[in-house]
């Protein structure tokens, strides 16, 4: 999983999969989810991210990251 942020547009994107998107849907104002060809979620785009999220910190909990 990868998170990227564009400071110019204040848009944050959560890459859930490396599979390319084939469809999308706006599920809430400023929030668009992307689906792969198999219908699985591949990413989430959040507009005006700095207003919706606290971008000053990033925490994970119980994510099985390799040590």
Do residues 44 and 25 lie in contact, with contact meaning Cβ atoms separated by under 8 Å? no
Nearest distance in Å: CB 11, another protein: 7
Give the list of residues 6+ apart from residue 24 with CB closer than 8 angstroms, or none: 32, 33, 34, 35
Q: How far is CA 21 from CA 8, 18, 36, 53, in A?
A: 23, 9, 4, 24
Contacting another protein (CB under 8 A), which of 3, 9, 28, 40? 9
Question: Site map for another protein, 32-51, x if CB under 8 A?
Answer: x-x--------x-x-xx---
Closer of 8 and 65 to another protein (Cβ): 8
Nearest distance in Å: CB 50, another protein: 12
């Amino acid at each position: 999983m990868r998170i990227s942020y564009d400071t110019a547009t204040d848009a944050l994107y959560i890459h859930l999969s490396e599979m390319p998107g084939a469809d999308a849907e706006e599920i809430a104002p400023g929030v668009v989810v992307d689906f792969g060809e198999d219908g699985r979620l591949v990413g989430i785009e959040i507009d005006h991210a700095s207003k919706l999220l606290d971008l000053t910190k990033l925490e994970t909990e119980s994510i099985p990251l390799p040590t």
